[in-house]
Chain A
């Protein structure tokens, strides 16, 4: 790969921006790209085209489509960067952001909130989001604590513990779904992942986690590279292995849990985006992480566009779509890899 790194980053960012503008134009009401940009400009730099009363276009773009698109960008970036970190962390290309039982925990939290009909709001978010976030993180912490032996955490133990505890959480979820009441449709929709009816509150909820999480995984990208040589060699190269692992794991878990809490469980983005990017820019996490974040964002913006429009006026859960498209692509990658 001879392409300069900053160039490829900027290029991908431009593609992402174009995709966002296009996506915001498409829907029940078609809005040309120029008008979309006009609305964005008016709202970002108020006073420019003074006292235009809020038009319908303005409301659609600014209040409905922009937050939704931004959310797709943030969720995609969070899941993809988290997935990339997990793959390096576990030295396992099959790893995804949900590997530590985050999705299972989040699903359990959401199910509990719906089943108990919890009705509190916090920071503009409903009980389902809050419970999903907290339970996702809690399960991850339990997995981590359970895998710790004498101050060290072996990746294999972590992986297997994550699977076991995740399975337990899934059983609880299934039990409650079977026994549960009439809210099941809402719950199923959440479990399948969706970006419908998301507002600015959801965006603001995700922004701090995405910003802090992404910063941390970028700052520790060099250490993550060295960790790919195994714990022992990383330590012999001067990396404080246990500390770096804990920091990276916390960042990746926060990214994934925050994403899940606002969007439900959206599969395969966190697995595929880092893989696709690795084929293009190679394994160096200093370029892989930002590229994976951009690619994940792009994937989700496009997936959301299809989810909104393919069966209009009905809407597909985006999680079904990403899995439907992602799984075959993943099989193709596997097939390709085996031939090499």
Chain B
């Protein structure tokens, strides 16, 4: 079945009975869920609950021990690395920058899965990269070396790189955990905007419950490598669930801006 035809089917990623881990230590156990096209799914849970492992399994960096992952109905292992990169873009926590590439160079790297060997980037690749930078509002520093940018600016460049891949699925791995508050909001606003416009399927791993609740359509809470609960934010962010998974007492209130559930921490004695 062609990928293009399957995209109408709505289900971007289907995970069934996934087991995955490092060496003999299982991290993810018996995960099953769907990610639909146009949906923004937040994956939350404490450290070590398997959030980042999930991203690595979904990009085939980590082999599965059991179960299956399908991309638009086709098993992930039937894709080449290049084919995966044309469908799935990843925005990492941070990007190592040992050498001084310009921002535009980095965004152009997003064209890698679309280029054949011996072919240089053409004018249309450049156009796509520039357009991606315009959309993430980082065109102003296209010639500046990436290591001179602030954390927020750099992450906008990385999002532009992901858009230059022209993916249909976006995986976010704690995209704002190293950023200041203002940049966190800015980056999530941006992500929400581009995802809605392009109808991307988004899976966002984050340890920030309030941000996840504010921006995601649906939350999936992991506990010790298993899905504890999965549903719309108002069903997931409850006092009981957070007590059970994070072992923390909180109060949940409604955001005065959007009505999304937001947690208030209760300090210990």
Interface, chain A (partner B; CB < 8 A): 88, 91-93, 219, 222-223, 225-226, 228-230, 232-233, 235-241, 278, 282-284
Contacts and interface: CB of A to CB of B under 8 A. Distances in A.
Given A222-B115, A236-B59, A283-B101, A229 B89 contact: no
Contacts of A233: 90, 92, 95
B92 to A, nearest CB: 6
Interface string B70-94: 0000000000111111101110100
A283 B99 contact: yes
A289 B30 CA distance: 48
| Pairs A-B, 5 closest by C-beta atoms | A238-B85, A238-B113, A283-B99, A238-B82, A236-B90
B100 A283 contact: yes
B110 interface: yes
B11 interface: no
Contacts of B98: 91-93, 228
Contacts of B112: 222-223, 226, 237-239
B140 interface: no
Given A229-B95, A232-B61, A284-B105, A237 B100 contact: no
Contacts of B100: 282-283
B208 to A, nearest CB: 22
A284 B81 contact: no
Contacts of A223: 112
* Residue from the set A219, A230, A233, A236 with the largest chain B CB neighbour count within 10 Å: A236
B24 interface: no
Contact of A219 (B92, B95, B110, B118): B118
B96 interface: yes
20 contacts: A91-B98, A92-B98, A223-B112, A225-B105, A225-B109, A226-B109, A229-B96, A229-B109, A232-B61, A233-B92, A235-B61, A236-B59, A236-B88, A236-B89, A237-B109, A237-B110, A278-B99, A282-B102, A283-B100, A284-B101
B168 interface: no
Nearest to B86: A238
Interface string B108-132: 0110110101100000000000000
A262 B151 CA distance: 49
A77 B81 CA distance: 33
* Residue from the set B56, B60, B90, B98 with the largest chain A CB neighbour count within 10 Å: B98
A232 B92 contact: yes
Contacts of B113: 237-238
A239 B85 CA distance: 9
Nearest to A87: B99
A228 B145 CA distance: 14
B212 interface: no
B165 interface: yes
A228 B96 CA distance: 8
A223 B95 CA distance: 17
Contacts of B95: 229-230, 233
A282 B112 CA distance: 20
B121 to A, nearest CB: 9
A91 B82 contact: no
A236 B109 contact: no
Contacts of A283: 99-101
A239 to B, nearest CB: 6
Contacts of A228: 98-99, 101
Nearest to B114: A238
Nearest to A282: B100
Nearest to A232: B61
Nearest to A278: B99
Contacts of B92: 232-233
Interface string B230-261: 00000000000000000000000000000000
Given A223-B112, A232-B61, A238-B82, 8 more contacts: A91-B98, A219-B117, A236-B88, A237-B165, A238-B81, A238-B85, A240-B82, A284-B101
B204 to A, nearest CB: 16
Contact of A237 (B80, B85, B117): B85
Nearest to A152: B61
A147 B153 CA distance: 37
Contacts of B117: 219
A228 B92 CA distance: 15
Contacts of B81: 235, 238-241
Contacts of A239: 81, 112
Contacts of A282: 100-102
